[in-house]
Structure 1
Amino acid sequence: MKANKILFILSILWGCFACTDGLEVIPENSVTFENYFKTEKDIETSLNALRDEFRSTCAFNANKTPIDLGFVHDTLSSTSAQKSFNWDASQFTPIYVDFFWNSHYAIICYANILLENIDKAEITQDRKDYYIGLAHFYRGFTYFRIAQKWGEAPLQTDSRDISKKAKSSVADILQFALDETNLAIKLLPLRDGLIDANGSQVTDKATPSKEIAQALKADLCAWKAAINNEPELWQEAINAANFVIDSCHYTLATDPEEVCTKVLPGGSDEGIFEIKFNYVEATRNPWTPMEEFVTFPIRPEDGRGDIKYCYARMFETTVDKMYPGHFEGMIAEGVYQGDKRRLAYFYDLDTIRKNAEWHALAEGYAYPYKFRKVQLGTTSWSQGKFECFACDHIIYRLADLILLRAECYARINKNDLATKDLNRIRERAYGNRSHDYNAATEGSDLRYIIFKEREKELLWEGKRWYDIVRNGYWKTELSKFHATQMTQQDVDNGALYMPVGYPAFNENSLMTQNKYWQARY
């Protein structure tokens, strides 16, 4: 009953978030919390409410828009999608739920409540430190996502503070997120030392450990170094990445096919931080940009010709450019010499080319096949039909971190080390060292080469938008609008951040809209 009451109280708090600006909450008092947070089970129950909100907010659809805007595509089926990619203001109005930050602040509130009440628990200090570390991790991660998506935002560090809040600077938000992450690193145990309230070892990859907090720090430091022009943070990002990459817990999958069949479904040795698929919560399960491309053969109900109706599509020729290598002329001694991601990430590309009927049905498009594990419907109307991908949501995996470290090395002109990391991923992609980086043939802009390698390796994994923004490639890697009409002043005014949703302005006269979007409403 006590656990249920805690969840009930937290649900009331969430109701307050939903109705106001995401900052006004019920202050702590003797009626609300006096009898709770006494045992470790109480703490774990409240933490589960936090994790549940984190799962649905930071891992899934609530972060969809910027991820969606970054995926590689050739054609789009909907007019609204075309408008979005061309930054039409009609698609970025604050009434859209994806621009509401309420759920992000709900995570922060849960973390604040836990930190404010943890001392009531009659548990050992080392167990308190563990839960404090988790709360700091989730708070740091969430503020990082807020800074990436909206830029300026209010800093809320105490659930009892119900005063109106003006937005803090991007620099301040990111610094707070980094401070929180450093506290998490200090307090969290290593992965093999994670123990739950029952005394059992935690083996899932969804529970933050010291390694996961270091992966977050690498990501955060790289973003902060680029966005705030703090070059000293590139080395900090490298150091954090080193901690994870050098860990005995993580190894690269053997080849791209294994990435598709073992890594992306979840639980592999390459996965670092991932959220578990749970069919019971199908409406809140992992979303990947590949859902915008999904058709035959992923959808059993679709035929080969249905690809032309997809939300988004890629031409075979685009795939050819990204992943060099046809079967013909690419086989030596019976071994395929091209980029094996071409074979793994796309369905039977070369076989379809050789079959005139199949090729005609595809109309020049490639069938995406990277994410393959799916959940099919079981009800009478959905029996055997595609419902969602049944893969875990992978926030960080080893290949991602290796290529991020490569970028950081390139930023500080340690090109030999950057090249070593780049070639490590290419060696897996090709199965040999035949495509090691060569400045004479590929050009000397190593950072851009690494960006394009991340684009290929992490296709449809939700990284590209943030890679573009971090590297400042918005003029060359996004739409015609960005190339011809967006200016650096627009970007300085917040054009690459999302507009703040209207609930943030309720009962908060200090709230202001981002300059770029304010000028368009």
Structure 2
Amino acid sequence: MKNFKKIITGLVVLFALSCSDDILENDPVSSFSAQGFYQTSADAQAGVYGIYDAVQSTFRVNFSYWGEGRADAVNTNHSGDPLALQQNTLSKTITSARWNNIYETISRANYAIKYIPEVFETESEFSLQLIAQARALRALSYFYAVRVWGDVPLITEPYESVEQEFFIEKTNKDEVLNQVIADLIFASENCRETFSGEDTRILFTQGAANALLTHVYMWQKDYENAIASAEEVLDNNLYSLVSIDDWSKIFTSGYSNESIFEIGYDETQTNGLRTLYAVGSDSDYFPSESFRDAFEDNDLRKNLIYDTTKENPKKIWKFFGEGFNDESPEPSSNNIVLLRLADIILLKAEAHNKLNEVDEAIRLLNLIRTRAGIEALSETEAIDMYGDVESAILHERLIELSFEGHRWFDLVRTGKAIEVMNPINGLSDEANLVWPLHEDALNKNPKLVQNPFYN
């Protein structure tokens, strides 16, 4: 049993909460005003667990729709969001254009951040680390919001009175990211270094905050700070690369030494991994031909990622193990690994290369390559094979982090989305890189303006 306590909370002002020994088991028993709920330290902890619950809902399928669906590693035979994302025919009615769950997470975080200090007579390490987790989860939510929609409403206070402004305009994405960084710096200083057992991988720690900071700095092209935050992760003895023999266990079992932050699920709180990738002929996504052709000879990961026994494979078994053959469309209880060490190593390699520190970039790149059984590259060999060192690193991210929700963001972040996707689906306008705002958000908030490409 995953040692992850869960509390269910309700919408905006009402919380339906129940304390249980397992955060992944829920049995809502009553409703409370958020203002009245925070009375004891146990309430404060329960409120933070409620934020994790909202994160589970946010990412159960969207980690893939947002991070993989518009990129080149997947194909689909499904209608709805998978087809719209692949063909770049996004509209204001597609499911992945909804930000409801993201703002539910932010709302719960805002309540916790405001009311936890009032629970404790004096500031304590415990109160600070609870607030730090809430701020980290708010930062995670806003970082995805900016990468998906661009400018978004920035809300940092809970809604508690009719006298407050209910309709909020969009905030410039740079200002939102400034808040994200402030939250993550606070989290990196005040989150716990570690928890007992498996909780270290599914609750926000200092290491997880630094890993997410690395992503944010890379998105901002702040390479020096990205390197500094990445070094905090690499120097943390909680994290180490697993051997290739245990590589699949990162995803099939979870809680590996390579894992930095996972979203925890179980038989009650499930996600869409099976229907996204593993139902075979009826999954949302299967590996594209260009992805299958991207592997170098002798790459030991290939057979661990997709069904190589088929000429036209339809099954991605990275998350369930080589040979996985369960055609059930039932939801999955596997954790979703959102941040792991190989990801941060490759981001750090990319940052060093941007600063013309090529030797260090190559060294880090080769840590991941040699684990996979492929030969280490020199700078010259990287250029000969991939055109430049950056492309060699991005190619390694394509393979190593395949289907984990990074590819689309990597293409956008590095300015390669149009170059890669134009021949596939005609993507040609930078204004098209963000999603449209969903029609429900536009109808409910008259101050919101649709993203220009979709007007």
| TM-score normalised by length of structure 1 | 0.74
* Residue aligning to 1:501: 438
* Residue aligning to 1:244: 233
* Residue aligning to 2:165: 162
Please say if residues 299 and 373 of structure 2, whose CA atoms lie closer than 8 Å, have aligned partners that are also in contact. Answer: yes
Letter in 2 for 1:514: N
Please say if residues 71 and 462 of structure 1, whose CA atoms lie closer than 8 Å, have aligned partners that are also in contact. Answer: no
- The percentage of counterpart residues that share the same residue type is 22
Letter in 2 for 1:250: Y
Letter in 2 for 1:513: Q
- Equivalent runs, 1:441-456 vs 2, <5 Å: 441-456=384-399
1:102–1:79 CA distance, 2 compared to 1 (3 A): closer
* Separation in structure 2 between the aligned mates of residue 79 and residue 40 of structure 1, nearest angstrom: 47
* Separation in structure 2 between the aligned mates of residue 74 and residue 272 of structure 1, nearest angstrom: 25
* Separation in structure 2 between the aligned mates of residue 258 and residue 86 of structure 1, nearest angstrom: 36
1:385–1:122 CA distance, 2 compared to 1 (3 A): same
* Residue aligning to 1:379: none
1:291–1:408 CA distance, 2 compared to 1 (3 A): farther
- Equivalent runs, 1:372-451 vs 2, <5 Å: 372=320, 385-430=328-373, 433=375, 435=377, 438-439=381-382, 441-451=384-394
* Separation in structure 1 between the aligned mates of residue 141 and residue 130 of structure 2, nearest angstrom: 17
* Separation in structure 2 between the aligned mates of residue 316 and residue 84 of structure 1, nearest angstrom: 17
1:505–1:36 CA distance, 2 compared to 1 (3 A): same
1:118–1:79 CA distance, 2 compared to 1 (3 A): closer
Please say if residues 373 and 389 of structure 1, whose CA atoms lie closer than 8 Å, have aligned partners that are also in contact. Answer: no
Letter in 2 for 1:115: I
- Equivalent runs, 1:473-512 vs 2, <5 Å: 473-480=416-423, 486=428, 490-491=429-430, 494-512=431-449
Deviations for 1:419-453, whole angstroms, at most 9, x for unmatched residues? 1111110010116x455551453255111111111
- Equivalent runs, 1:55-454 vs 2, <5 Å: 55-57=56-58, 59-73=59-73, 76-78=76-78, 81-88=82-89, 92-122=90-120, 125-160=124-159, 161-191=164-194, 194=195, 203-225=199-221, 233-255=222-244, 257-282=245-270, 285=271, 287-288=272-273, 291-295=275-279, 307=281, 311-314=284-287, 319=292, 321-325=293-297, 338-347=298-307, 349=308, 352=309, 362-365=310-313, 368-372=316-320, 385-430=328-373, 433=375, 435=377, 438-439=381-382, 441-454=384-397
What is the Cα deviation at residue 50 of structure 1?
1.4
1:363–1:373 CA distance, 2 compared to 1 (3 A): closer
Please say if residues 63 and 98 of structure 1, whose CA atoms lie closer than 8 Å, have aligned partners that are also in contact. Answer: no
Please say if residues 260 and 341 of structure 2, whose CA atoms lie closer than 8 Å, have aligned partners that are also in contact. Answer: yes
* Paired residue secondary structure (1:273): strand
* Paired residue secondary structure (1:394): strand
* Separation in structure 1 between the aligned mates of residue 444 and residue 213 of structure 2, nearest angstrom: 34
Please say if residues 279 and 329 of structure 2, whose CA atoms lie closer than 8 Å, have aligned partners that are also in contact. Answer: no
1:485–1:369 CA distance, 2 compared to 1 (3 A): closer
Please say if residues 234 and 341 of structure 2, whose CA atoms lie closer than 8 Å, have aligned partners that are also in contact. Answer: yes
Deviations for 1:245-289, whole angstroms, at most 9, x for unmatched residues? 12111111111x42113454201101110122311123xx2x44x
* Separation in structure 1 between the aligned mates of residue 339 and residue 267 of structure 2, nearest angstrom: 22
* Paired residue secondary structure (2:93): coil
Please say if residues 44 and 119 of structure 2, whose CA atoms lie closer than 8 Å, have aligned partners that are also in contact. Answer: yes
* Separation in structure 1 between the aligned mates of residue 40 and residue 74 of structure 2, nearest angstrom: 55
Root mean square deviation of aligned Cα: 3.0
* Separation in structure 2 between the aligned mates of residue 15 and residue 479 of structure 1, nearest angstrom: 46
Please say if residues 409 and 417 of structure 1, whose CA atoms lie closer than 8 Å, have aligned partners that are also in contact. Answer: yes
1:146–1:79 CA distance, 2 compared to 1 (3 A): closer
Q: Give the number of equivalent residue pairs.
A: 425
Please say if residues 218 and 236 of structure 1, whose CA atoms lie closer than 8 Å, have aligned partners that are also in contact. Answer: yes
Please say if residues 316 and 365 of structure 1, whose CA atoms lie closer than 8 Å, have aligned partners that are also in contact. Answer: no
Gaps of 5+ in 2: 1-6, 16-31
| TM-score normalised by length of structure 2 | 0.84
* Separation in structure 1 between the aligned mates of residue 444 and residue 285 of structure 2, nearest angstrom: 40
Letter in 1 for 2:447: L
Radius of gyration: which is bigger?
Answer: 1
Please say if residues 427 and 435 of structure 1, whose CA atoms lie closer than 8 Å, have aligned partners that are also in contact. Answer: no
* Separation in structure 1 between the aligned mates of residue 147 and residue 247 of structure 2, nearest angstrom: 27
* Residue aligning to 1:355: none
1:245–1:95 CA distance, 2 compared to 1 (3 A): same
What is the Cα deviation at residue 322 of structure 1?
1.9
Letter in 1 for 2:185: N
* Paired residue secondary structure (1:430): coil
What is the Cα deviation at residue 202 of structure 1?
7.1
What is the Cα deviation at residue 183 of structure 1?
1.3
* Separation in structure 2 between the aligned mates of residue 368 and residue 451 of structure 1, nearest angstrom: 21
What is the Cα deviation at residue 295 of structure 1?
4.6
Letter in 1 for 2:434: Y
Equivalent residue in structure 2 for 1:466, among 401, 409, 428: 409
Gaps of 5+ in 1: 1-6, 17-30, 195-199, 226-232, 297-306, 326-337, 353-361, 377-382
Please say if residues 76 and 311 of structure 1, whose CA atoms lie closer than 8 Å, have aligned partners that are also in contact. Answer: yes
Deviations for 1:80-103, whole angstroms, at most 9, x for unmatched residues? 545532322xxx222333212122
Letter in 2 for 1:77: N
Please say if residues 62 and 96 of structure 2, whose CA atoms lie closer than 8 Å, have aligned partners that are also in contact. Answer: yes
What is the Cα deviation at residue 128 of structure 1?
1.4
1:205–1:365 CA distance, 2 compared to 1 (3 A): closer
Please say if residues 87 and 481 of structure 1, whose CA atoms lie closer than 8 Å, have aligned partners that are also in contact. Answer: no
Deviations for 1:446-469, whole angstroms, at most 9, x for unmatched residues? 111111110011111111011111
Letter in 2 for 1:76: T
* Paired residue secondary structure (2:339): strand
1:340–1:48 CA distance, 2 compared to 1 (3 A): same
Letter in 2 for 1:205: R
Letter in 1 for 2:242: A
